[in-house]
Amino acid sequence: MLFSSIPFLYYFLPIVLVLYFAVPFKLKNLVLLLASLFFYFYGEPIYTLLMLGTTLSSYIHAFLIDRFRGKTLSKVFLCSSIVTSILVLGFFKYSDFFVSNVNALLKTDIALLGLALPIGISFYTFQTLSYTIDVYRGQAKLQKSFVRLATYVALFPQLIAGPIVRYTTVEEELSHRKHSFENFSYGVNRFIIGLSKKVLIADTMSALAIALHGMDELTVGGMWVYSLANYLQIYFDFSGYSDMAIGLGRIFGFHFLENFNYPFISKSVSEFWRRWHMSLGTWFRDYIYIPMGGNRVALPKWIFNTFVVWFVTGFWHGADWTFIIWGLYFFVFLVMEKFFLQKWLNKLPKFASHIYVTFVIAISFVIFSGAGFKGMVSDLSAMFGGANLAFWSKETTYHLTGYAIALAAAVFGATPALKNLFAKLHNNKESCRVLNVLEPIFHVVLLLIVTAYFVDGSFSPFLYFRF
């Protein structure tokens, strides 16, 4: 079930809200769990059992880890938990990738399994892993209630496309959380903003990217605008989903951490990754990079640690060499910034640093979105004038003219300028009173516009569903 759909907005969510706030607190987790299982079952009937099985495995392993704490068996059960989770993820997500590469390397003809990828498996696997690892480390208490643990894993606001919510983030709120009109109001407004970012901006940028990439005759300039539109689409799609998840979580009393912090304004690739998909970056930092030694090691070991993290980061995103290349592409820039590039960037004017980052990131998401290795090479070649492409054409002008206002709005919306403006207005008593009246009206209008898109029959899937 999509957040950006009539069934979710006007049937599922209202019913869940009524039931949730009608029952006493001791039943609220059960209501959320049943609602979340139905939400997942609506799109993945069979794989609902897989998610529950993964949760049960983590629940049992955590009990065993805690039962034998301080003994060798505790580490054995931790390793068992990690291996079990990774094997399940690997089987469903990467089986055909490995088989196809074996076939290509050894000239064999092993049949592909053709398994459908369970929605959200990459996200909930990392959440269950964080739980058992943190229990082993003593950073999280053992959760004795399966309902509470299953609620954490299956919680529908963040189940299928993140952010990756650590167990320690919501550990206390699973047992004790406060509900208030302020939280509810904030959650609704945040959800509507996220929904609008997805439907009104991300989907429009998708249409522009498709139009430019699908021209009869590609142009170099058109491909660069395509790369920018593609980057903006991915940003507003994923950050919009994160806004919706954070908003829904707040409605139900959960405080999820932010997942994006205006990465478009970054002045280096290192800064970009401190602002982009922060829940994933901190997960890899805390559960892979630091346990390997982080940066407190000799230089060759640090390079190796960084290589591993970015190889895994790329591979986590998908079972294709393009994703691995995408991850290693960032590894190269991060190492260069570490050695010398950051010093040069610090001497440049801010606008030059922004141009550098935009250039690097725009190329990265062309790699990310490439239709296989050949498609990626073809797109990159076109961006740099391969196949003697013209720089511009009338068709390119036609598409850019048609989306110019939307593109400018997307670029502006990717910066904190609007947020800063509203913050200043809220600090003024008179303007604050006006905003308190206008903001609810604005949010209602946005919701009505988005609903009109749904009624018109627009299908609006999220990009990160495939991960």
Per-residue pLDDT of 94-148, as tens digits, reads: 999 999 999 999 999 999 998 888 988 999 999 999 999 999 999 999 999 999 9
Residue 302 has pLDDT above 90, yes or no: yes
Helix (H, G, I), strand (E, B) or coil at 37: helix
Contacts for 137-144: CB closer than 8 Å, 24+ residues apart = 139/168, 140/167, 140/168, 140/171, 141/171, 142/62, 142/63, 142/66, 143/59, 143/62, 143/167, 143/171, 143/174
The percentage of the chain sitting over the pLDDT mark of 70, rounded to a whole number, equals: 98
**DSSP letter string, 62-95:** HHHHHHTTTSHHHHHHHHHHHHHHHHHHHHHHHH
Lowest mean pLDDT among 79-88, 134-143, 425-434: 425-434
Q: Which of the two residues, 159 and 75, has the higher pLDDT score?
A: 75
Angle at 385 between CA 383 and CA 388, to 5 degrees: 140
pLDDT tens for residues 3-20?
888 899 999 999 999 999
Please check the confidence at residue 385 and state whether its pLDDT lies above 90.
no
pLDDT of residue 3: 86
354 among known catalytic residues = no
Rounded distance, CA 411 to CA 28, Å? 41
Burial (CB count within 10 angstroms: exposed 0-12, middle 13-18, buried 19+), residue 99: middle
Residue 460 has pLDDT above 80, yes or no: no
Q: Count Cβ atoms below 10 Å from residue 260 Cβ, excluding itself.
A: 20
pLDDT of residue 466: 54
Joined together, the tokens standing for residue 403 give: 């989306």
pLDDT(444) > 80? yes
pLDDT band of residue 159 (cuts 50, 70, 90) is confident
pLDDT at 458: 57
Under 8 Å between Cβ of 264 and 415: yes
pLDDT at 410: 95
**Structure-token match 């004017």, residue found:** 349
Closest CA to 358 of 232, 190, 220, 215: 232
Instruction: Report pLDDT for 1.
Output: 75
Tokens of 134: 């943190």
Please state the domain extents for the chain. 6-177, 183-455
Q: What is the mean pLDDT of the chain?
A: 92
List helix spans (H) across 276-298: 278-284
Comparing CA positions, the residue from 177, 185, 372 lying closest to residue 256 is 177
pLDDT above 60 for 191: yes
**What is the pLDDT, as a whole number, of residue 456?**
73
Give the integer Cα–Cα distance in Å for 321 and 209: 22
How many whole angstroms separate alpha carbon 93 and alpha carbon 9?
Answer: 30
Identify the pLDDT of residue 320.
92
Confidence of residue 268 (pLDDT cuts 50, 70, 90): very high
DSSP per-residue codes, 247-258 = HHHHHTT--PPP
List 61, 213, 277, 317, catalytic entry: 317
pLDDT band at 44 (very low <50, low <70, confident <90, very high): confident
Tens-digit pLDDT profile for residues 319-366? 999 999 999 999 999 999 999 988 998 888 888 999 999 999 999 999
Specify the pLDDT at position 350.
86
**pLDDT: which is higher, 258 or 44:** 258
- Name the helix (H) or strand (E) containing 317: helix 299-317
Mean local confidence (pLDDT), 61-87: 96
Identify the DSSP state of 316: H
- Categorize the per-residue pLDDT at 381 as very low, low, confident or very high, splitting at 50, 70 and 90: very high
What are the φ and ψ backbone dihedral angles of 356, each rounded to 5 degrees? Answer: -60, -50
pLDDT band for position 467 (50/70/90)?
Answer: low
Residue 179 CB contacts under 8 Å (≥ 6 apart), including other chains: 21, 252, 253
- Please give the pLDDT value at position 35: 96
- Do 385 and 220 meet the contact criterion of CB atoms below 8 Å apart? yes
Percent of the chain at pLDDT > 90 equals 79
Q: Mean pLDDT across the stretch 21-49?
A: 93
Alpha carbon distance 4, 461 (integer Å): 8
pTM over 0.75: yes
* Unique residue bearing structure tokens 């890899």: 284
pLDDT in the model for residue 405: 94
Model confidence at 457, pLDDT cuts 50, 70, 90, reads low
Residues 336, 164: Cα–Cα separation, whole Å:
29
